Each structure stands twice: as structure tokens, then as C-alpha cells.
Amino acid sequence: MPDRFASIWFPNLATDHQIRVRPELYGLEFALAVPERGRMVVTASSAEAKALGIEAGMVVADARAILPSLIVLDDEAEVARQALRSLAEWCLRYTPTVALDTPDGLILDITGCAHLWGGEKAYVHDLIAKLHQAGYTARAALAGTVGAAWAHAHFGVSGTIVAPGEPHNGLLKLPPAALRLPPETVEKMQKLGFYYIGGFVRIPARMLRRRFGEDLMEKLNKALGYAHEFIEPIRQTTPYQERLPCLEPIVTATGIEIALQKLLETLCGRLAKEGKGLRKSVLRCYRVDGQVQRIDIVTNRASHHVKHLFRLFELKIKTIAPGFGIELFLLEAPEVEDMSVTQETMWDTTGGFESAAITELLDAVTGRTGTDAVHRYLPDEHHWPERSVKLVTSLREQPKTTWRTDRQRPVFLLPKPEIIEVTAPVPDYPPTVFRHKGKVHYIDKSEGPERIEQEWWLQQGLHRDYYTLEDQDGRRYWVFRLGPYSEEEEAERPEWFLHGFFA
């Protein structure tokens, strides 16, 4: 499939955005200005002010002499950049690859996208119409190269569509500035009589390079397709992605479910053919008012089971606010994993995490309560308690060591030991009483100590002497003394900490 690019130019981006933010400016003569060398200089003007001769680069005092009623506003460059970024995010409904063409344009890689709108002509028409409805003056063109699309959008007729494989079509009649050349090069070419690209395109490259530099040949080759041009998208494209545009805006939950079902069938069909399953999926709903609604799911094991994934999404569909209607659905799978042949036939098997019923139950629980509700831990090859267990996200990961059974370990280990106050009859003996968070616990039974030294190759510090304690209510705790007791009277007594709870 040949590459296809669209270039969108917003010639009045700054003023159009001002009108969107402040509708009371619509139809008025106003200009944006910045201080320059001790005076205010116009950077942009509304269409009404421009028609009366107020142009960018004029000193504000001169502009007010021409138009006393001119409204002057401070120009904030960051506002225009944010507006362009927002427009780029909005254009993601037309293609997954959108790049900024600062300061006032966008480049879209529309390869393989136009057929969803019924062809390139309908694609461009819908794109320009929606931007005009949003209040922006926009010019757009389609071509097989970024350079050709940019040239026609800025210097040709808006809506131009250059047929695939014909970058020369119409480009030769445009001025040299259409090649995105610096002003000094354009001025030099015009002095030599090169007013159109067709006037010098057949001149030998070595002569053009010697007189105008390498930049001219580089830009010309990119525009004509002899050199490839890369763009930097605002969002990295997800390889596994499906789109569903709507002929009429969708406003009902039933319509959303039908769209989701179709997208899942298509996406899971692709994943199944490639032996993969998704671990995370995101559904984005693009509304007609420009807002984007989003819901996402995660699975504990790679899956391309349509019915199961639909049930996970179904739990969150009610959170989608369609507003005045959804015009595009986008389903992505940003995280996928390989699936073995064994996995593909597990839907009727039983036994541990290999059981589809268990993994589907875990997916349903996390879908209802959030991903922080279910955790899986595996033993790790460390003696220091904080490092002896690790949190894993995959059900397929196998432990590198076995759980320790020769020593008792608490069911719940505090992420950070909490300091306690203790009373012990003999310094090296276990506590008979300890206070934790204001509550006093009287000890009936105790075991220990178990000394655990620091792992010196990872961290330096004092050892710990652990005790298992049982209080008067039968509750059991894992506490430790940090460091040894000293027989010197002036030495500080070591601190005690609570580190875990037994069942």
C-alpha cells in the first residue's frame, strides 16, 4: 500500500483559538501583540482586522493609527502551542499517526485509513468540515509525500488530493517557498527568476547544490518522493488497534455494546492468527463535541477470548457518557503476550492458574474492584524479610525458589516495620508487654529469638532478633529488636519493631 500523508495548516490558529476561548471577540477587530525592543508589535490579527490592513509585524501604535478601535491582546505563544497539541489529539480519530508541524500545522499519516470514510475525497471533506465547525480556519491537502502535502496545503488549493505515485502533479506550478525553504534561499531564487518549482526542477542537481546549498536538494527530493521523510507522532502507534467510525453518532449503551463486540471480534481474530493474547486493552470513544471517553481492562493471563473480554468491558460501559453522540470507537491492545497451543485449549480444563475459570474469575474481580485488589506473590532468594517475597503481575511467572517452611513466617508482612514500646524482664529476653498504636498487649507465649543478619553485599546495618509473640487474646505477632543490648549504662537501648501478623 503506497504511503499517503495529509497536511493541515491553520493560518489563523492564534486568533481562532482566542475566539473559541472568548466568544465575545467574534466579529471584532482585534490583534495579538508582544513586546519587542521596547515597543508592542502585532503577531497576529483577526480576519476583520486583517481586512482593514492590520498585519503581523506592524507596530501597535501604527496599527491603532490605522484602526483606532483595534483591540490589542497579549500574545502568549504557549497558548497557541497548547491549542495545536489539542488539535493533534483531536485528529487521532482520523489516524493513529499525528505529528506536530509547528508553529501552526499538523502532519497526518493516513495510509490505510481513508477507506473508513468512503475514500480520500470524503476523508478530506469530513476533516475540513469538522475543523470549520469547531471554529478553526483550516487548509488541508493529501499526497504521497509529506513535502507535497505541505506544499499544496500552504500554497495550493485547499482540499487538493494528489494521486498516488504522482508527486509532480501540481507541485511544479507552486513557488519555491512551497518546499519549506528558508526565506533567504527563496529571496535568492526569486532574484534569479525562479518563481516556480518547475523552473529549476530539471536543472542538474550539482548546479543547484553549488548555488543554493544541500538544503534545497534535500527538500526537493523529499517532496518528489526520492528521499523518505520521517515524522514524530505525538503518540506512539499501537500495533494492535482497530477503529470503527459511525455513520450516525451513537448515544445508547446498546449501540456502544454492538460497536465493542465488532471491534473485539476483529482484534481477537488478528491476535488468534498470530498466536497472541492481550493483557491490557483500552476502548476510546470519540464524541462529536471533541471529548474522549475511555475505559480499560487488564487480564491476569493473555487472552483473545471475545466473550470473556466483552464481559470485562461490560462492567464499565455504564461509566461512558456519550454526550451528544460518539462518532468513532478505537480499541487498542497496548500489552500483548504470546500464547502457546496449550493455552488456546484451556477453556475446559481445571487446575490452579492453568484453569480458565480461575483466571476469568480473577479478571472479573479486578474489573469490579480495580487492579490493586488482587496480588500475587512469589518467594525470592533473600533472607532479609523485606526482600524475601516479590510482587508479580503475571500468572505464568514461575518461582525461582521454594517458600521457606523450616521457620514460621507471618501471613501479613508490613511493608515498613512499625516501632513499638516493650517491657522485658531481662534485656535479652522476649517482651512480656508491648504497646502498639496506643493499645497494650500482654504476652502469654513467645518463641525466639531468630537472628537475621543484613545482606552486606546489598546493604549495611544492624542485625535483627525476631520473636513470635501471642497476646492475651490469642493474636500472634512477629516483632524484632534492632541490634544488640549493650551492658554499658550510658548506651542507648535498642529499638523494637512490629513487622508482621500471623493468622
Q: What is the mean pLDDT of residues 285-303?
A: 88
Q: Please tell me the predicted confidence (pLDDT) of residue 488.
A: 67
Choose among 448, 477, 453: nearest CA to 464.
Answer: 453
Calpha distance 99→85 (Å, rounded): 9
Q: Please tell me the predicted confidence (pLDDT) of residue 348.
A: 42
Choose among 360, 383, 376: nearest CA to 450.
Answer: 383
Q: What is the mean pLDDT of residues 463-483?
A: 93
Q: Is the pLDDT of residue 347 over 60?
A: no
Q: Please tell me the predicted confidence (pLDDT) of residue 122.
A: 93
Choose among 5, 13, 7, 25: nearest CA to 86.
Answer: 13
Overall pTM > 0.75: no
Higher-confidence residue of 348 and 415: namely: 415
Domain 241-363 belongs in CATH node 3.30.1490.100: yes
Q: What is the mean pLDDT of residues 222-232?
A: 89
* Residue 344: pLDDT band with limits 50, 70, 90: very low
CATH H superfamily, domain 1-237: Reverse transcriptase/Diguanylate cyclase domain (3.30.70.270)
Q: Please tell me the predicted confidence (pLDDT) of residue 435.
A: 94
Q: Please tell me the predicted confidence (pLDDT) of residue 489.
A: 59
Q: Is the pLDDT of residue 343 over 50?
A: no
Choose among 421, 408, 435, 430: nearest CA to 502.
Answer: 408
How big is the chain by its Cα radius of gyration, in Å? Answer: 34
Q: Is the pLDDT of residue 240 over 70?
A: yes
**Cβ neighbours around 53 below 10 Å, total:** 11
Q: Please tell me the predicted confidence (pLDDT) of residue 346.
A: 40
Q: Can you give the residue ranges of every domain in the chain?
A: 1-237, 241-363, 412-501
Q: What is the mean pLDDT of residues 146-151?
A: 94
Q: Is the pLDDT of residue 239 over 70?
A: yes
Q: Please tell me the predicted confidence (pLDDT) of residue 345.
A: 44
Q: What is the mean pLDDT of residues 267-287?
A: 92
For the CA atoms of 85, 87, 90, 95, what is the dihedral angle to 10 degrees? -90
Q: Are 358 and 352 in contact (CB under 8 A)?
A: yes
DSSP H stretches of helix in 338-433: 341-344, 356-369
Q: Please tell me the predicted confidence (pLDDT) of residue 246.
A: 86
Q: Is the pLDDT of residue 73 over 70?
A: yes
491: which 3 cell numbers? 548506651
Calpha distance 110→126 (Å, rounded): 14
Characterise 38 by phi-psi region: left (phi > 0), alpha (psi -120 to 50), beta (else): left
Backbone angles phi and psi of 43, in degrees to 5? -105, -25
Calpha distance 60→49 (Å, rounded): 12
Q: Please tell me the predicted confidence (pLDDT) of residue 391.
A: 80
DSSP state of 347: G
* Residue 349: pLDDT band with limits 50, 70, 90: very low
* Residue 351: pLDDT band with limits 50, 70, 90: very low
* Residue 145: pLDDT band with limits 50, 70, 90: very high
Q: What is the mean pLDDT of residues 417-444?
A: 89
Share of the chain above pLDDT 90, in %: 54
* Residue 350: pLDDT band with limits 50, 70, 90: very low
Q: Please tell me the predicted confidence (pLDDT) of residue 93.
A: 86
Q: What is the mean pLDDT of residues 131-146?
A: 93
Q: Please tell me the predicted confidence (pLDDT) of residue 332.
A: 93
Indicate the average pLDDT of the chain.
87
Q: Which of 81-85, 223-227, 233-237, 256-260 has the lowest mean pLDDT?
A: 233-237
Q: What is the mean pLDDT of residues 195-208?
A: 89
pLDDT digits (tens, 9 = 90+) for 16-67: 999 988 999 999 999 999 998 889 999 999 999 999 999 999 999 999 999 9
Q: Are 103 and 80 in contact (CB under 8 A)?
A: yes
* Residue 365: pLDDT band with limits 50, 70, 90: confident
Q: What is the mean pLDDT of residues 221-249?
A: 88
Higher-confidence residue of 484 and 107: namely: 107
